[in-house]
Amino acid sequence: MGCGSSLPDRDSRQLGRPSENGGQDAKNLRVKLVLLGDSGVGKSCIVLRFVRGQFDPTSKVTVGASFLSQTIALQDSTTVKFEIWDTAGQERYAALAPLYYRGAAVAVIVYDITSPESFSKAQFWVKELQKHGSPDIVMALVGNKADLLEKREVAVQDGTEYAEKNGMFFIETSAKTADNINELFEEIAKRLPRPAVS
Amino acid sequence: MEGAIATTGSRIRNNWQCYLQAAYLFQQLMSSVTQLPILAVPDFGKPFVVETDASSKGLGAVLLQEGKPLAFWSQALTERGQNKSVYERELMAVVQAVQKWRHYLMGTHFIIVTDQKSLKFLTEQRLLTEEQFKWVSKLIGYDFEIKYRPGKENTAADALSRKPMFLTMTVLKFNEWENWDIEVQKDSRLQAIMQELLVDPNTNVGYSMRGGKLYYKGKLVLPKHFSRIPAIMNELHSSPTGGHSGYFRTFKRVAGVLYWEGMRKDIKEFVMQWSKPKNWPEWLSWAEFWFNTNYSASTKMSPFKALYGQDPPLLLKGTTIPSKIEQVNQLQEQRDEILKELRNNLCKAQDQNRLQANKHRRDVVFQEEEDERSDKWGSFLEQVTKSSQATYSENEHKDTLKDELVSNKVKERNPHRLSNGDDSSNRTFSEGTEVEETATARVSEGDDSSDRKFVSDNTTGNNSGKQQHHSEERNTRMVQRWADIRPSLAVIEEMLSSRIKKRKKMNSEEISANDDHHPSIEIYTNETLGDGINGSRAENASEDQELFSQWKELETLVQGGVPKDLRGEVWQAFIGVKTRRVERYYEDLLAQETNSGESEEQGVPSAAFGKWKKQIEKDIPRTFPGHPALDENGRNSLRRLLLAYARHNPSVGYCQAMNFFAGLLLLLMPEENAFWTFVGLIDEYFEGCYTEQMIESQVDQLVFEELMHERFPRLVNHLDYLGVEVAWISGPWFLSIFVNIIPWDSVLRVWDVLLFEGNRVMLFRTALALMELYGPALVTTKDAGDAITLLQSLTGSTFDSSQLVFTACMGYLAVTEAKLKELREKHRPSVLGVIEERSRKGRVWKDSKLASKLYSFKHDRGSLVEERKNAGGSDTLADKNAQSESHSSELDELLNSLNVDSELNSLPNLEDQVVWLKVELCRLLEEKRSAVLRAEELETALMEMVKEDNRLQLNARVEQLEQLVAELKQALHEKKEEEAAMLQVLIRLEQDQKITEDARRRAEQDLAAHKYEVHLLQEKYEKATQSIAEMEKRVVMAESMLEATLQYESGQSKAISSPRAGRGQSPRSENPSRKVGLLSFGLGWRDRNKGKPNAEESSEGLHDNGSPRKESSNHEHDR
């Protein structure tokens, strides 16, 4: 029993340390997130919906990239500040994409469920990131425009399967109806690697 | 009108009038809120609290300390503001209140109390709109926390926010003047009027009675000799709120609320006493209020009235009305002192305030600036035209002829413009910022329209809609899309278009231009000297000098801004649209578009083109969405322009961002004019920037980063520290040429200079200027997100376009095209390297095809193109690898030469030929590109072979080395053996040594033993000698005893027979001799050992027979 009495002691010290020293970092995360995907799939709309709670069906073309940030609070009382880089969708802007996805902790790859082309473009981005992105990047595959069910051309299963194969998180969203937008970012926040607890 | 009101309203930014106004209001209406109906004096040691609230009509705020109000502020909301969400209004209230009271709040921690719960999350940047974004950015740098308090508790601010409803009541505060009542009663004339009115309200026209007070036309009537009139006028005229308006304005202000007989004269006299104050800045803080509440000659009413529909409340200093309560007086005095002090502080910030004031009064200033611009440009053009008329007379003549010819066309220009029917389209363009221009722009509109020769044509709008279905009508409409620029600008066009000709020449001859800060003039002068186009002035050097000075003047004018109504045409002149234009070229490009469905043999690869087309379709509705000019017709124009360009230059095709440029140009000029301007811009100014690989854009970013390092090392360090790369921010700036980045007005001003200079230098200068302007603010940020957010919002509010352009042009003169060129050369290889690496990786998958491709390349050129087309869809990234610059430049070269040809000889079939040739060229270029690709692949293969070769060599070398190693090992082994042997020998030697040692030791022992023996023997010998000696002694004793015995015996015998003595002697003598013999024997032995003495003894003995005693004593003595 002598052994037993000393164990909890050690445990409490181990548990106590990170919350005292690394508390600031463990509780308030800052994360660079980059949105990639074909032109017109709704990257900017997703960000706008998430950050400003708005949906503008006639948003402007994104030239180069645009930046917004948003902080969310999780249930475990940690906060995550997303520094979101929304990139231009046209193929040739891929030349500039490394500038933005370099050093990003999260990549959200978006396609349009009504466009198989955008789905294959998403797969291109996944490969690109696997090759050139940072190795521990958290990737999410997002099928946007989920409100346009009747025009769906990419099955949910396709998305799920592809995401599973590549170790990604998958979700279908609608920036228009705000469906799953917050869930997307919350889920990403949960999946972020935390500063080690023990 | 609405726009004008909205912006004027937003400009009501004044503290003190609101503050005072609120104070009075509060005295009257809010005594229930606090016990002391007068404001407290701030104590900077205690925390401040800002309570804010917003109602649907207005905003309100109270500055409190320890529950006591220090200041009140309220503001009516414009209609636009009223339409905002509750959250937004609340946010506005917070931000504006904080800004009002920044003197108190800056640098201290304070609390904001609001009844809008969501505002609590303000600091967490839950921003909703871009506008709010701007609001929140204004709070950066303040230290505050936001507390939520449900509406009912937040009474003070709540009531203030509803204040606009009480505005009229503020006038009633004059009732408080006790003197007023008394003096009115004393004034017999007023008494009479009042009496009459009580009897019959209609007796005195204009007068009325309300609540016991007399009003004239709704204005409070004062007694003619009212003691307070000088005080009132002083307040209205001389104080900052009065702003020294001068007679008329002062009169209008006073007359808005007060009336007394002879008022006009009194005011005039009063104003005459005052000359204009020298120290204007002291009043600048009030300038806005002054402006807003003053009678404006142009609108015939004060902006305040225009906005609120009523006259502004008058504000009088606290001391004007003495209070009975001593404490109140004291407080008022203190407050006035603070006011004074604040004024002094404002004085220190003179220049800033002046700028600020300018900004706030922008519609006035803008109009003035615009007028000034128009004047300057007008006189410049006049002057230049005059000076050139002598030499240009021939050209001029032609021009005018041409003008006459095209004048019919001009009447039908620009369909989208016509469809809108007014000019506001390009001013309402960017939300919010241009609205204010609209109001003033309208004033000048009358002049504009006549000047521009724009005549509306209702039929065009309908036509363009049907365009795609009625191709046969096309030709007639195409003509309508073009218009020559006004002849007066031809001079500028002539001045600058020469550089286009020069550039063509440079391209073809590959002469590197001696670019410096004024490349165009260099080129220009070279041109005039060398080229025969304007032979008449070629020889005249002094004329060149004159042209140079004209050019400098033009540069200054451009930096000051191109007048709005000239802009579209001036830009065309800058870019040399007239020189670039090839008749029917644009139409033919469009015709290709309509025919593309039927005929596939066009040169442009259809896969790529289809892609661009799709992208263009996607982007058209997303180009300046909601802009009135981009209606159905506007969009069609945009589509046509972009598609035509994609066909014109397939190396670029279509790139996002180009939609904005084309849209911008279409807002300023007719469609075909816009096309040629666009061609000049993208083909030349931004050559290589928007191609598939965007190489030049990437190079520019590296160049800009280097410039930033050079210019703002501290800022760059800070950004590095935050983990922000400069290119993240500057990338979008450059790619969009600042469209959607800075306010519209500023965009146009930057473009003015950019198009004039004919290169991308202005891009760099503007970006550097923005960094200069906002760098100091950026350095204060503490994380990457905040830094970028701040910079975005700051650049988004760069409303002072003149400041921006001048900072850019004057501050960065050292950033020249030559320097950029040098830096680009330096950085280009790294960009190309990355691209090459990526494309090589991409090519790995295709390696299997390599051999067959190589084969086909040698034998069948046609199949290559096909194969390329097939491959086009999937691996375009690698495939369209840098549609090489030489490509586009060659294209240009050809085009340019074609341009010249067609200008000389514009036969239609030749044009067809041109188009066909171009198509051919495109195809050839495609093939060439394929060849380049193949060459690259071959090179890779070769490299690999070389690598293989190397491997063999290396193997051989390895073998050699291995052998060497083996040898060495063996040698080592031998050496080791030798060493072992040596060791053994050594050991043996050692052993020997040991043995010897042992032997030696034994010998020594033996020696010692021998010595000991010797010693023992010696001892024995000594003992022996001793015992011999004893024996001798005994012998001696025995002898002596024997002698004695003998003597005794002899004595006895004598005694018996004496005679016998003789006789007896003889035998006896024989005996002694025997005895002597014995003795001598003994003595003899002794003699042998002792030598002589013994011999002597013995001889003595022999001689001394007679004395034996003597002899024995001798012996004893010896011993």
**Does residue B959 sit in the same domain as residue B1044?**
yes
Looking at residue B600, its pLDDT comes to 46
A55: chain B residues, CB-CB within 8 Å? none
pLDDT single digits (tens) B956-971: 888 889 999 999 999 9
pLDDT tens digits for range B873-884: 444 444 444 444
Q: Are B865 and B923 in contact (CB under 8 A)?
A: yes
Q: Does B736 touch chain A (CB under 8 A)?
A: yes
- Put simply, whether B424 touches A (Cβ < 8 Å) is no
Q: Given CB atoms, is A149 within the 8 Å cutoff of chain B?
A: no
- Does B624 contact A60 at a Cβ distance shorter than 8 Å? yes
Counting every residue, how long is chain B?
A: 1119
Residue B682 carries which DSSP code?
A: I
For residue A94, give every residue at least 6 positions away whose Cβ sits within 8 Å of its Cβ, in sequence order, or none: A128, B877
Using the predicted structure, report yes or no on whether residue B1096 has a pLDDT greater than 60.
no
More confident residue, B915 or B393: B915
- Show which of residues 24-43 on chain B sit within 8 Å of chain A, judged by CB atoms: none
How distant is the alpha carbon of residue A150 from its chain centre? 27
B331 lies in the same domain as B189 = yes
Residues B911 and B1014 in one domain: yes
Write the ipTM.
0.87
Exposure on the CB side of residue A95, measured as CA atoms within 13 A: 31
Whole-number Å distance between alpha carbons of B85 and B103:
29
Contacts of B656 in chain A (CB under 8 A): 39, 61-63, 88-90, 93
Position B129 scores a pLDDT of: 61
Candidate from A65-79, B226-240, B782-796 with smallest mean pLDDT = B226-240
- Domain final residue, candidates B167, B188, B223: B167
Is it the case that residue B1052 has pLDDT exceeding 60? yes
Q: Taking the CB of residue B86, how many other CB atoms lie within 10 A of it?
A: 13
Closest Cα in chain A to B730: A64
Tens of pLDDT, residue by residue over B492-509, are 777 776 666 555 555 554
Chain A partners within 8 Å of B126 (Cβ):
70-71
Higher pLDDT, B81 or B577: B577
Task: Please check the confidence at residue A160 and state whether its pLDDT lies above 70.
Answer: yes
CB B412 within 8 A of CB B478: no
Other Cβ atoms less than 10 A from the Cβ of B846: the count is 14
B1038 belongs to a structural domain: yes
B785 in contact with A, Cβ within 8 Å: yes
Is residue A177 very low, low, confident or very high in pLDDT (cuts 50, 70, 90)? very high
How many Å lie between the alpha carbon of A66 and the closest alpha carbon of chain B?
A: 8
Nearest-Cα distance to chain A for B596, in Å, is: 23
Q: Do B735 and A66 touch (CB under 8 A)?
A: no
Across the strands, what pairs with A144? A112
- What pLDDT shows up at residue B17? 53
* B205 and B254 both lie in a single domain: yes
Contact across the interface for B618 and A39, Cβ inside 8 Å = yes
Contacts of A60 in chain B (CB under 8 A): 622-625, 740
- Pairing of the two strands A65-73 and A79-87: antiparallel
Once rounded to an integer, what is the mean pLDDT over residues B474-489?
63
**Which residue in chain A is spatially nearest to B627 when comparing CA positions?**
A58
Residue of A nearest to B784 (CA): A83
Q: Give the closest of B623, B732, B785 to A83, CB-based.
A: B785
B351, B206: one domain: yes
Q: How far apart (Å, rounded) are the C-alpha atoms in residues B56 and B1109?
A: 177
**pLDDT confidence of residue B1070:** 47
CATH 3.40.50.300 fits A28-191, yes or no: yes
Q: What is the pLDDT of residues B1083-1093, one digit of tens each?
A: 445 545 544 44
Structure-token pair, residue B490: 């031809």
Q: Which residues of B touch A83 (CB under 8 A)?
A: 784-785, 788
Q: Tell me, what CATH number does B868's domain have?
A: 1.10.472.80
Residue A59 distance to chain B (closest CA, Å): 6
**DSSP H helix total and E strand total for chain B:** 50, 9
B43 C-beta neighbours (distance < 10 Å), count? 12
Rounded to 5 degrees, what are φ and ψ at B221?
Answer: -95, 130
* pLDDT value, residue B443: 35
Facing residue for B694 by CB, picked from A51, A85, A92: A92
Q: Which among B619, B731, B876 is the nearest to A65, CB-wise? A: B731
Phi/psi of residue B147, nearest 5 degrees: -115, 145
Shortest CA gap B121–chain A (Å)? 10
Residue B94 has pLDDT above 90, yes or no: no
Query: How far is Cα B93 from Cα B51, in angstroms, rounded to an integer?
Result: 9
Q: Which residue has the higher pLDDT, B62 or B732?
A: B732
B143 and B221 housed in the same domain: no
Is residue B402 in a domain? no
Residue B31: what pLDDT? 45
Residue B299: both structure tokens together: 């609108």
How would residue A16 be classed by pLDDT, with cut points 50, 70 and 90?
very low
A178 and chain B: CB distance < 8 Å anywhere?
no
Comparing alpha-carbon positions, the chain B residue that sits nearest to A132 is: B838
Which comes out higher in pLDDT, residue B939 or B961? B961
Task: Test B622 with A103 for CB contact under 8 angstroms.
Answer: no
The H-or-E segment that residue B200 falls in is: none
Yes or no, beta carbons of B740 and A94 under 8 Å apart: no
Structure tokens at B485: 């620029």
B1083 & B985 share domain: no
Res. B260: pLDDT tops 80: no
User: B-chain residues within 8 Å CB-CB of A41?
Assistant: none
CA dist B302 to B240, B253, B671, Å?
Answer: 17, 9, 42
Distance between CA atoms of A149 and A156, rounded to whole angstroms?
A: 11
Which of B167, B201, B234 delimits the end of a domain? B167
For residues B189 and B53, state if they share a domain: no
Residues 42-61 of A with CB under 8 A from B: 51-54, 56, 58-61
Distance CA B854, CA A100 (A): 38
Nearest CB to A52 within list B127, B693, B783: B127
- Residue B154 has what DSSP assignment? -
- Is the distance from CB of B734 to CB of B763 less than 8 angstroms? yes
Minimum mean pLDDT range among B186-195, B414-423, B993-1002 = B414-423
Q: Which residues of A touch B659 (CB under 8 A)?
A: 61
| Structural domain includes residue B17 | yes
Is A53 close to B877, i.e. CB distance below 8 A?
no
How far does B245 lie from chain A, in Å, by closest CA? 45
Select from A61, A85, A91 the Cβ nearest to the Cβ of B876: A91
Give mean pLDDT, residues B40-57. Answer: 75
Interface test with B, best of A32, A44, A63, A112 (most B CBs within 10 A): A63
- Cβ contacts below 8 Å, chain A against chain B, sum to 112
DSSP assignment of B278-297 equals S-THHHHHHHHHHHHHS--T
Chain A nearest C-alpha distance from B652 (Å): 10
Strands (E), chain A: 28-37, 65-73, 79-87, 106-112, 138-144, 169-172
Specify if B888 maps to a domain: no
- Using the Cβ of B656 and the Cβ atoms of chain A, whether some distance falls under 8 Å is answered with yes
Give the DSSP per-residue string, B345-374.
HHHHTHHHHHHHHHHHTHHHHHHHHHHHHH
CA atoms within 13 A on the CB side of B1093: 9
Query: Of the segments A56-70, A162-176, B287-301, which one has the largest average pLDDT value?
Result: A162-176
Q: How far is A152 from chain B (nearest CA, A)?
A: 19
**Looking at chain B from residue 859 to 878, which residues have their Cβ under 8 Å from any Cβ of chain A?**
876-877
Please judge whether B124 and A71 are an interchain contact, meaning their C-beta atoms are less than 8 angstroms apart. yes
Residue B713 resides in a domain: yes
Residue B843 in any domain: the answer is: yes
Among B125, B617, B652, B656, the strongest candidate for a mutation testing the A interface, having the largest count of A CBs within 10 A, is B656
Chain B residue with the nearest C-alpha to that of A120: B874
**Chain A contact present for B619, CB below 8 A:** yes
Contact by Cβ (8 Å): B55, B160: no
Beta bridge partners of A86: A35, A66
A173: left (phi over 0), alpha (psi -120 to 50) or beta: beta
Map residue A138 onto helix, strand or coil. Answer: strand
Q: Which residue has the higher pLDDT, B139 or A136?
A: A136
Between B552 and B616, residue with greater pLDDT:
B616
Contact A63 B740 (CB under 8 A): yes
Query: Is residue B232 less than 8 Å (CB to CB) from chain A?
Result: no
Interface check A28 vs B, CB under 8 A = no
Question: How distant, in Å, are the alpha carbons of A29, A83, B117, B144, B176 from that of A72?
Answer: 10, 11, 17, 21, 55
Residue B779 contacts A, CB cutoff 8 Å: no
- One DSSP character per residue, B642-671 reads HHHHHHH-TTT---TTHHHHHHHHHHHS-H
* Selected residue with higher pLDDT from B83 and B251: B83
Say how many domains are in chain B.
Answer: 5
d(CA B213, CA B229): 17
DSSP letter (8 states) at residue B684? I
Say which residues have a Cβ less than 8 Å from residue A68's Cβ, sequence separation at least 6.
Answer: A47, A48, A51, A52, A84, A86, B789
Q: What are the structural domain ranges in chain A? A: 28-191
Residues of chain A positioned with their CB less than 8 A from the CB of B701: 99
> Using CA atoms, how far apart are residues B302 and B308, in angstroms rounded to an integer?
10
> For residue range B360-380, what is the model confidence (pLDDT) as tens digits?
555 566 677 788 888 888 888
Instruction: List the CATH number of the domain containing B157.
Output: 3.30.420.10
**At B108, which amino acid appears?**
T
User: What is the rounded average pLDDT for all residues in chain B?
Assistant: 68
Contacts of B73 (CB under 8 A, 6+ apart): B15, B18, B19, B22, B60, B61, B62, B63, B96, B97, B100, B101, B160
Same domain, B709 and B733: yes
**Would you give the distance in Å from CA B1032 to the centre of its chain?**
137
Which phi-psi region, left, alpha or beta, contains residue B624 (left: φ > 0; alpha: ψ -120 to 50)? Answer: left
Between B481 and B572, the more confident residue is: B572
Residue ending a domain, among B128, B148, B167, is: B167
pLDDT greater at residue B882 or residue B1020: B1020
Q: Is residue B539 part of a domain?
A: no
B1046 and B1065 both lie in a single domain? no
Between the two ends of chain A, the Cα-to-Cα distance in Å is: 25
Contact (Cβ atoms closer than 8 angstroms) between residue A192 and residue A105 = yes
Stretch 71-100 of chain A: residues touching chain B, C-beta under 8 Å:
71, 79, 81, 83, 85, 88-96, 99-100
Interface contact B623, partner A, CB < 8 A: yes
8 Å CB contact between B618 and A40: yes
Yes or no: say if B455 and B409 are a contact pair by the CB < 8 Å rule. no
Number of Cβ within 10 Å of residue B1000's Cβ equals 10
Residues in chain A: 198
Tokens of B372: 């000034």
Among B345, B328, B312, CA closest to B106: B345
The pLDDT value recorded for residue A7 is 37
Residues 6+ apart with CB under 8 A from B166: B25, B29
- Distance, in Å, from the CA atom of A22 to the CA atom of B695, rounded to the nearest integer, reads 44
- Residue range of the domain that includes B29: 2-167
Which pair of structure tokens corresponds to residue B361? 């009064």
Question: Which chain A residue shows the shortest CA-CA distance from B614?
Answer: A39
Residue A99: C-alpha distances to residues A93, B167, B780, B968 (Å): 11, 56, 24, 54
Residue of chain B nearest A71, judged by CA positions = B124
